[in-house]
């Protein structure tokens, strides 16, 4: 058994449409989609520890994805990195988790 050090760096990114999140309860939507009891996702979500950070590694990884999309012809317009990340919500909840230098 080996760990993933030096092999792969796992990353998960959260994309949310702010308007949708404000209009809908995501846990309720998950319950509906997975045909679960409506209270179960809320209970499970409360038991999981979510660690989030936004740093220069995050930007570098997203630029790798941009290059892949560009190479495959799937990037329809240039990415505006100066407006790509919405840092204020994470910074308000966990200021130390946001160490991203302003992208250009």
Predicted TM-score (pTM) of this structure: 0.57
Look up tokens 């892949």; give the residue.
Answer: 68
Q: Is residue 43 located within the same domain as residue 55?
A: no
Does the CA dihedral 32-29-62-5 come out positive or negative?
negative
Q: Does residue 9 carry a pLDDT above 70?
A: no
Q: Is residue 45 located within the same domain as residue 8?
A: yes
What residues make up the domain containing 26?
A: 1-49
Instruction: Say which range, 12-21, 43-52, 59-68, 90-99, has the weakest mean pLDDT.
Output: 12-21
Q: Is residue 38 located within the same domain as residue 57?
A: no
Q: Determine the pLDDT at residue 98.
A: 93
The angle at the Cα of 78, spanning 76 to 81, to the nearest 5 degrees, equals 135
Q: How many domains does the chain have?
A: 2
Q: Is residue 45 located within the same domain as residue 64?
A: no
53-90 per-position pLDDT tens digit: 889 988 898 899 899 989 999 988 888 888 888 888 88
**Over residues 43-57, mean pLDDT:** 78
């Amino acid at each position: 058994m080996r760990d993933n050090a030096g092999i792969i760096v796992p990353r998960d990114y959260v994309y949310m449409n702010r308007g949708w999140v404000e209009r809908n309860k995501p846990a309720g939507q998950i319950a509906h989609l997975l045909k679960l009891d409506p209270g179960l996702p809320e209970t499970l979500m409360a038991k999981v520890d979510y660690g989030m950070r936004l740093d220069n590694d995050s930007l570098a990884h997203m630029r790798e994805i941009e290059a892949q999309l560009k190479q495959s012809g799937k990037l329809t317009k240039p990415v505006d990195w100066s407006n790509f990340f919405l840092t204020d919500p994470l910074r308000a909840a966990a200021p130390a988790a946001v160490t991203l230098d302003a992208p250009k």
